[in-house]
Chains A and B, each alone.
Chain A
Amino acid sequence: DQQVKQNSPSLSVQEGRISILNCDYTNSMFDYFLWYKKYPAEGPTFLISISSIKDKNEDGRFTVFLNKSAKHLSLHIVPSQPGDSAVYFCAARFGNQFYFGTGTSLTVIP
């Protein structure tokens, strides 16, 4: 049973516009959330994270929002750039384990 879900398998956005990637989870015990970015033929790389005690974390063009009541996480990329085209995974931590979503493939169109 998938505890972390990314319901949009793909997303296309024009360069310069905002990309919003969404993630839903079911386990209220998750205490830490992360976003990873994956290019083809490479392993995922860490992008940004947020603790469950916060509702927003910002790092340059990337902002992660956490809505605990809705069990919803989102990643905003502003402005989007062609180099952002990749698969994005959200992940949530419980204990020593991380639970990953199925990924959203983002294409930024020049």
Chain B
Amino acid sequence: DVKVTQSSRYLVKRTGEKVFLECVQDMDHENMFWYRQDPGLGLRLIYFSYDVKMKEKGDIPEGYSVSREKKERFSLILESASTNQTSMYLCASSTRDRDFKNIQYFGAGTRLSVL
């Protein structure tokens, strides 16, 4: 059974703190993604990675960075958390094989509150 695990379900941080959100997948997928989900805005892509040590900016990368040192792990970093980064964060992974359905598998999400 496929599995994408996000390290925390709920997180409360203070403005200015450095925040790490961790994501691990056990499917040997090449691609990994970080989204944030906000009411009325759907899922918006922050960053994605198609290989170890590779990263690409998504639609809203400002205020975020990522790290992919190992194939199974993709970390999202908030360098200095701000209240407008309060959101639900979703990690996903997919195979690179474009002939396949290219389905993304999602973690359960991390609800981050920045006070």
Contact = CB atoms under 8 A, between A and B. Distances in A.
Given A34-B103, A43-B4, A49-B103, A102 B109 contact: no
Q: Give chain A's interface residue range (CB within 8 Å of chain B).
A: 20 to 34
B12 interface: no
Interface in B1-39: 4, 9, 31, 33, 35
B108 A44 contact: no
A97 B108 contact: no
Interface string B70-108: 000000000000000000001010000000011111111
A89 interface: yes
A72 interface: no
Contacts of A2: 42
B92 to A, nearest CB: 8
A46 B104 contact: yes
A99 to B, nearest CB: 8
A101 B42 contact: yes
Contacts of B41: 102
B56 interface: yes
Contacts of B4: 43
Contact of A96 (B35, B44, B48): B48
Contacts of B101: 32, 34, 46, 49
B42 A97 contact: no
A81 to B, nearest CB: 23
A43 B58 contact: no
A41 B106 contact: no
Contacts of A97: 45, 48, 58
B97 to A, nearest CB: 12
Nearest to B30: A96
15 contacts: A2-B42, A6-B42, A34-B101, A41-B109, A43-B92, A43-B108, A43-B109, A44-B90, A44-B106, A89-B42, A97-B48, A97-B58, A100-B42, A102-B42, A103-B42
